[in-house]
Amino acid sequence: MQASHDAHAAHHDHAHDDHGHHGRAPGLMGWFTTTNHKDIGTMYLWFSFIMFLVGGAMSLVIRGELFAPGLQYVSPEFYNQMLTLHALIMVFGAIMPAFVGFANWMIPMMIGAPDMAFARMNNWSFWLLPPAGTLLVASLFVPGGAAGTGWTLYPPLAVQMGMGMDMAIFAVHILGMSSIMGSINIITTILNMRAPGMPLMRMPMFCWTWLVTAFLLIASMPILAGAVTMLLTDRHFGTSFFNAAGGGDPVLFQHIFWFFGHPEVYIIALPAFGVVSHVIPAFSRKHLFGYTSMVYAIAAIGLISFFVWAHHMYVTGIPLTGQLYFMYATLLIAVPTGVKVFNWVTTMWRGELTFETPMLFALGFLFLFTVGGLTGLVLAITAVDIQLQDTYYVVAHFHYVMVAGALFSAYAGAYYWLPKWTGFMYDEALGKLHFWTSIVFFNVAFFPQHFLGLAGMPRRIPDYATQFADFNVISSIGAFGFGFSQLIFLWVVLKNIKGGETAPAKPWDGATGLEWTLPSPAPYHTFEDAPVIKDEHLAAAH
């Protein structure tokens, strides 16, 4: 995305800018040393897309093996490693960095700030990621292979694993550090660097979602780090946190893990909500409906997300009162989530809709995320969850929420802001093809998994009873179709970097916000002097 950037930036320098800035240092070293939020945002986005392809390839190994009953291509041990790395890479390597990439690129441009608050720390936050990603992938090649525990890393199984497990633990530590630093940066930037005249309650919704997300990250990542550290000492230093024989409790790990793990779901979902809250109004030519209640809903979701963790643990033997409490709390979280969906729908009501690729992905998000949210309601009911826990119903549910909720929203954002990043319009026909193949194949892949789960097919098994064969065939076909459809996006982006129709400063007539007052592509340095905020730049009309 940055390739064409230098030329434009240079051009821009001559045209508008007399500060005499130079950009990034030349060559590869420039990327290592850059402290520019746009460079770092670009690197985050490319890193996440590469990890997305790696994690995607792993999911195709899984779906390939599940194409037919019997063991075909991989051993059960390797299968377990694939499902573990697929999840870890997708969650920590693909989806989270993607939204940090959006945050880096867009937050300073949205609030009229020249860069992120801590530019050097920003560089370090990013450059921690490649080593962590390498550790995860490289763990496949050490004796014993990668962790085969699922991304939840439950002991005592995790204690049995080889050194691949230690590499995963180390990777999680590094990723956690990166996230915490990124969060500190985002919070400081949003709270302190908004241009004069932009109150919190009128700043862009994407900034609000990230503000809440960053607090969730700061509160939850250290908990995960603690959990995996205890795991590490149980493995190597003779402690018994999770070993009953030494006075510990294996279920304790699950409580700690999910105290991180449930907020994590919203860490992924909230920035996705933010992106969609920009795209839907832009292509409806209307203001976001109920800005204030959206902000409250985000805050409520963020807060409640810390009090529902044990709904992942209904069958672990937590007491009845615990089950009841966690069921009620989980039902409660459906309320603000519902409010958000109603608000988006009302935003479109009586608008002037057009359906460019970003809007299509935002609609796809809304459609699929609602399916995932509603099956979440079914899973929240403890008695029913007993039948569905650890079956493919859960796999279907969280892919509707994660892939649809986060990935589709990331695509909506990428298509929406690509012209601002590269200075060219992307190929609309290819973008639409990408959307339609993605949404069709996604449903072919994951909808049948609801039926598999209801019929009782457990998750995380490399082979299954013959009555599950038919839906698995369909699911695998869908997964391969979905996987290869993502290469269309790579094609779109590469083509877009090379050139295309020149993008105007504001390619979308319904878009609002400061980022669209800048030329396309955005110059290397922007808003060195705070912009004068006018009413139309602000979110939440009054």
Query: Of residues 39, 115, 385, 427, which has the active-site annotation?
Result: 115
3-state secondary structure of 452: helix
Among 244, 494, 505, 532, binds another protein (CB under 8 A): 244
Active site residue 459: yes
In the range 458-517, which residues lie near another protein by CB under 8 A?
458, 460-467, 469-471, 473-474, 477, 510
In the range 9-68, which residues lie near another protein by CB under 8 A?
none
Active site residue 344: no
Tokens linked to 265? 């779901």
Query: Do the Cβ atoms of 119 and 79 come closer than 8 Å?
Result: no
In the range 440-469, which residues lie near another protein by CB under 8 A?
440, 444, 451, 454-456, 458, 460-467, 469
Among 328, 494, 502, 532, binds another protein (CB under 8 A): 328
Query: Of residues 63, 311, 434, 450, which has the active-site annotation?
Result: 311
140 counts as binding another protein under rule CB under 8 A? no
Active site residue 287: no
Question: Which region holds residue 466: left if phi is over 0, alpha if psi is between -120 and 50, else beta?
Answer: alpha
In the range 166-225, which residues lie near another protein by CB under 8 A?
none
3-state secondary structure of 321: helix
Question: Between the CA of residue 384 and those of 188, 315, 378, 393, what are the distances in Å?
Answer: 43, 11, 7, 11
Query: Do the Cβ atoms of 35 and 115 come closer than 8 Å?
Result: yes
Q: List the one residue out of 316, 99, 75, 346 whose CA is nearest residue 213.
A: 99
Using the minimum distance from each CB to another protein, give the nearer residue, 15 or 320: 320
β-partners of residue 502 are: 424
Active site residue 262: yes
Least Å distance, CB 159 to another protein, is 6
Question: Residues near 308 by Cβ (< 8 Å), separated by ≥ 6?
Answer: 262, 326, 329, 330, 333
Least Å distance, CB 347 to another protein, is 8
Least Å distance, CB 220 to another protein, is 23
Least Å distance, CB 429 to another protein, is 4
In the range 401-440, which residues lie near another protein by CB under 8 A?
428-429, 432-433, 436-437, 440
Q: How far apart are CA 19 and CA 302, in angstroms?
A: 42
Dihedral pair phi/psi, residue 73, rounded to 5°: -110, -35
How many residues are there in the chain? Answer: 542
Active site residue 529: no
Q: How far apart are CA 431 and CA 182, in angstroms?
A: 30
Region from 98-106, 242-250, 255-263, 412-420 binding another protein, contact rule CB under 8 A: 242-250
**Between 80 and 119, how does the x/- string for binding to another protein read (CB under 8 A)?**
x---------------------------------------
Query: Of residues 48, 84, 149, 178, which has the active-site annotation?
Result: 178
The Cβ-side half-sphere exposure at 464, using a 13 Å CA radius, reads: 25
How many residues sit in the footprint of another protein (CB under 8 A)?
A: 112
Active site residue 16: no
Active site residue 8: no
Active site residue 411: no
**Between 276 and 295, how does the x/- string for binding to another protein read (CB under 8 A)?**
--------xxxxxxxxxx--
Tokens linked to 163? 């050194």
Tokens linked to 39? 């460079």
Tokens linked to 106? 């867009």
Q: How far apart are CA 243 and CA 526, in angstroms?
A: 55
Query: Of residues 5, 24, 37, 262, which has the active-site annotation?
Result: 262
User: Within 94-128, where are the H helices?
Assistant: 96-111, 119-127
Active site residue 179: yes
317 counts as binding another protein under rule CB under 8 A? yes
Q: Which residues are catalytic?
A: 86, 115, 151, 178-179, 262, 264, 266, 277, 311-312, 337, 340, 459
